[in-house]
Chain A
Amino acid sequence: MKNIKCDCGHVNPEGTVLCESCGKPIAGNQHIDGNDQKKLLNMRYDGTARRSQTYNKTIIDKIWSFFSSVKVGVWLIVIALIASAVGTIFPQQQYIPADAISRDPAVYYPETYGIFGRVYYQLGFHNLFSSWWYLILIALIGVSLVICSLDRFVPLYRALKRQKAKRHYSFLSRQRLFSETVEVTATEKEEVIKKLKAQRYKITEENGHVLAEKGRFSRWGPYVNHIGLIIILLAALLRTTPVFYTNEYVWVSEGEQTVIPGTKSEYYIENEAFILDIYDENDERFKDAIQKQGVVPSNFQTNAIVYKAKEGALVGSDSELVKVAEDEIRMNHPLEVDGYKLYQSGYQLNEVNQMTFTIHEKDNLEGEDLGEFSIDLNDPKSEYELENGFTVSLADYFPDYYLDNTGEPKTETQYPRNPTFIFNLFPPNMEEYETSFVGDIKGAAEAIGIDTESVELSPMSKVIGKFATSLDPTGENDYQIVIKDIDFQRVSGISIRKDHSLPFFGVGALIFMIGVIQGMYWQHRRIWIQPTENGVLLAAHTNKNWFAIKKDIEKAIENTNVKMVNDQQELDE
């Protein structure tokens, strides 16, 4: 460290542009802040020694200089901005609509958006916001925030703490606001100081040299808001760990009680009832809108009870459950229990609980059935033996059936939302079997114009069963399997969150807002009054709002001989 001793006796760190104490420009360092080219001094960081401007030898110096540049910071912001915009051109993978051709991104993007979609997918923009390069970009912004702040804050804090009231002439005369008055009386000087005090300036006096200062804390605003942002970024990092964040989802049907995932089998939820309310189409206020938009839901709600397993109890033994919470879970009204929050996140009005089938002779469908069997969709068996000797085996089962675009039967999910079967039917004492394809009740309901997402099929289960598909692929069957009845159940989708990172985000956001306000709505104003033989030098600096500091000075020197400062600003243009 080559320290520099100023004429005033103060020892400055290497790289200082203006003496921390008296402000005298230090010879040989003026190019750093560009003071050699201009009449006025660059006061942005008070001419302090910034690491980034001083050392440029090692690789660390170079990295430090790179990230401490505001220009680099702004570029990073601009790149993040453009990248984010690109990420919204097509939906992100998680927002591929449920009714899309395919939920497989490799199929969805090219099929829906053509060549652009293919490129979008291949470049990984469909998962942009969790892609490594986007995360690195955000991390780089974080690094830039830290280095920019440290590079400026530390020396600036030091300089403002060490500044003396007594300033060098060349410092004062090269301020933007400056005047020299040849003759000023002591009482006039007192008067000016008194008026500055009245305007809440803090006065420091040193052998007749006066510094009036106000709002220094606003200089810390940018660093405070950057701390807030860093806390937010760190919180985002914490949130990726399971200790701080869990996110689970459970489907629970009416009357069912099931373990809440992500709670180590400690908590259980019971769905007492699921309620879907819609707006009355005769409501005078909303009549017109409802006529236009169709059915509008007004409430999704699960009446839920949460139980906790007693400590030490065997996992899964219901007898040891204690009720810990009971609430109506609605949109915007989650249930809270022991740090967990349960949200109403989805519902199925028409999940199938049980289906009953009958076997008929194909040419006598209206006649008496030859046998009846029921499948419990929560626990389908591979074979059903009927009393009169028929055996039905499940050759294939699609719980949530749909035909994909190649005409292959597929299942969307593992939940019995549209159960469809390929049965092998063995007539009594026969080795040979007949194959039939039965189900797709959703398709049957939609064919007669029912919106299965919002209308309950339960009251018309028999009719829909009759309309449902029962295909004979060979055309040579003697028997037909017909749906006799369907038992629907309403299922509520509950998401479970535990998020201990939230307070950190909250604190970060609060600190950010405080910092922004602190830095933007206050200004750091300094006015120097220095004695000359019979008069004074008057100089002033503010980090912004020059209009206001001029007003302050005008007020202070009113009715005195002290000359108003000249604005020596040099315009670049």
Chain B
Amino acid sequence: MGSLLSLSSTMLYSAFILYLVATFFFGFTIREKHSSSNKRSIAANIGIIVTIVGFVAQVVYFITRWVASGHAPVSNLFEFMTFFGMTIVLAFIIIYFIYRVSVLGLFALPTALIIIAYASMFPTEIAPLVPSLKSHWLYIHVTTVSLGQGILAISFVTGVIYLIKKIDQSVPSKRTTWLEVVLYSLILFVGFVIVTTIFNLMDYQATFEYTERNKAVETEYHLPAIAAPNGGQLVSENVMEPLFEAPAWMHGADAGRKFNTLLWSFISGTILYGLLRLFLRKRIGAALQPILNNSKLDLLDEITYRSVAIGFPVFTLGGLIFAAIWAQEAWGRFWGWDPKEVWALITWFFYAAFLHLRLSRGWHGEKSAWLAVGGFAIIMFNLIAVNLILAGLHSYA
């Protein structure tokens, strides 16, 4: 049992490293001159092979963890987000074989890497399934939703590439600013991962005591407390004193700790972004633009549309239809206006609007790319913020 679990984590770790290596190979392809498009570059070939090997490693992680725990590893934030990273890679592999755009790997794999790294900052122990999750619909619903979101994530990736290439960086404008905001938000995740890893290695710990539901509860901070839990008392000694308390309206388990983590992500992400700007001496968008000389805008636009066209029905099926069937089975009502449900509906509304604007009002190109970025922001909001801020029935992941 123990060995199976350690094999499982080794496999996830290997997958992570392989995706990273593959990213570098896709990076090499940008230096090549694409004189003849039929001749595929060696770097891209190695890149996609390494990606596939990494994907297989992650599948092994998934299966071994499933065997070890007795249920599909999609039952908490760590497991679900890791799986989400896996579906992004899967969607990338599929799209790659259709369009053969290697620059996609250079952006899609880091997106998956960030998500997997982010996932491993959450508790990784195997948790037993609570009664409401004990159903076959767990596998069916979660895997379909995740696949749908993974495919939609590709539209985000091509959207970002499109914007980096398209937007005129010679003069600062609203568009350059918004593009920086998008890139900055990605860097926030990296900042979070770095800070968490540092303090984990230091084995930092600060315990707070506070009351929840008229009961005394303890919560452990693994990052120095900037914000204490609402009404919390610091128990540990020789640790940083909190600067202030989390507001009372933040709900859900360990709201204070999660809020503190969010603050840390912003601080570290902002510093990281600042350093990058200092080092590059220009906007990150401007720094990235030259590496996209070889990519074609219309093809990127086509991939954006294609991934929405495929991802939307898959998401509808998993996130609304299967979700409703399961909710009916578990709670006797297929729809209950729970925040998670509402945000799934919002996601659906958003992509429905995307498709209408594109197909009947001709929003192609840049407008489409901005929308694809917005859609992904909604997906990530539903994945992270709804769990950490707006707790509801769907509090596992």
Contacts and interface: CB of A to CB of B under 8 A. Distances in A.
Contact of B346 (A81, A297, A300): A81
A13 interface: no
A331 B330 contact: yes
A451 B125 contact: no
Interface in A517-573: 517, 520-521, 544, 547, 572-573
Given A99-B214, A112-B249, A285 B333 contact: no
A97 interface: yes
Nearest to A75: B353
B368 to A, nearest CB: 13
Contacts of A332: 131-132, 134-135, 137, 329-330
B28 interface: no
Contacts of B365: 573
Contacts of A90: 249
A292 B123 contact: yes
Interface stretch (A66-74, A252-260, A377-385): A66-74
A289 B332 contact: no
A516 B346 contact: no
Contacts of A572: 362
A446 B213 CA distance: 11
Contact of B359 (A78, A129, A296, A544): A544
B360 interface: yes
Contacts of A94: 336-337
Nearest to B213: A99
Given A345-B331, A516-B312, A296 B127 contact: yes
B333 A497 contact: yes
A288 B324 CA distance: 33
Contacts of B349: 77-78, 80-81, 84
A70 B313 contact: no
Contacts of B324: 505, 509
Interface in A467-519: 495, 497, 502, 505, 509, 512-513, 516-517
Contact of A446 (B131, B215, B342): B215
Interface in B48-72: 68-70
Given A292-B125, A293-B127, A547 B350 contact: no
Nearest to A515: B313
A446 B214 contact: yes
B1 interface: yes
Contacts of A99: 213-214
A88 B343 contact: yes
A94 B339 CA distance: 12
Contact of B339 (A88, A247, A286): A88
A554 to B, nearest CB: 16
Contact of A73 (B333, B345, B356): B356
Interface in B153-172: none
B131 A300 contact: yes
A84 B349 CA distance: 10
B241 interface: no
Given A88-B390, A99-B214, A544-B359, A296 B353 contact: no
A520 B313 contact: yes
B224 interface: no
A87 interface: yes
A113 B249 contact: yes
Nearest to A44: B360
Contacts of B330: 331-332, 343
A343 B321 contact: no
A334 B332 contact: yes
Nearest to A402: B214
A71 B363 CA distance: 12
Nearest to A331: B131
A247 B334 CA distance: 13
B195 interface: no
B250 to A, nearest CB: 10
B134 to A, nearest CB: 6
A284 interface: yes
Nearest to B306: A545
A77 B351 CA distance: 10
A23 interface: no
Contact of B127 (A85, A117, A289, A497): A289
A520 B337 contact: no
Contacts of A81: 346, 349-350, 353
B131 A285 contact: no
A226 to B, nearest CB: 11
Contacts of B126: 285-286, 288-289
A240 interface: no
A90 B392 CA distance: 11
Interface string B114-128: 000000000101111
Contact of B1 (A80, A89, A285, A341): A285
A299 interface: yes
A112 B248 contact: yes
A81 B352 CA distance: 11
A292 B220 CA distance: 10
A92 interface: yes
Interface in A415-472: 446, 451
Contacts of B68: 285
A296 B128 contact: yes
Given A91-B251, A99-B213, A341 B332 contact: yes
A133 interface: no
Contacts of A89: 390
Contacts of B69: 285
A547 B305 CA distance: 14
A408 interface: no
B362 to A, nearest CB: 8
Contacts of B248: 112
A330 B317 contact: no
B361 interface: yes
A298 B128 contact: yes
B332 A516 contact: no
Given A70-B361, A85-B346, A513-B317, A502 B328 contact: yes
Given A77-B352, A91-B251, A71 B361 contact: yes
A408 B386 CA distance: 36
Contact of B131 (A95, A286, A299, A521): A299
B350 to A, nearest CB: 6
Interface string B302-329: 1000000100110011001100100011
A100 to B, nearest CB: 10
B316 A297 contact: no
A513 B302 CA distance: 22
27 contacts: A70-B356, A74-B356, A84-B349, A88-B342, A88-B386, A90-B249, A91-B251, A91-B339, A99-B213, A114-B249, A286-B126, A286-B127, A286-B128, A289-B127, A296-B130, A297-B130, A331-B131, A331-B132, A332-B131, A332-B137, A332-B330, A451-B215, A495-B332, A509-B320, A513-B316, A520-B309, A544-B359
Interface of A: 44, 70-71, 73-74, 77-78, 80-81, 84-85, 87-92, 94-95, 97, 99, 112-114, 117, 129, 247, 279, 283-286, 288-290, 292-293, 296-300, 330-332, 334, 341, 343, 345, 446, 451, 495, 497, 502, 505, 509, 512-513, 516-517, 520-521, 544, 547, 572-573
Given A78-B353, A88-B339, 19 more contacts: A73-B356, A78-B349, A85-B342, A89-B390, A94-B336, A95-B393, A112-B248, A247-B333, A285-B69, A296-B127, A297-B131, A298-B130, A495-B332, A497-B332, A509-B320, A516-B312, A516-B316, A547-B302, A573-B365
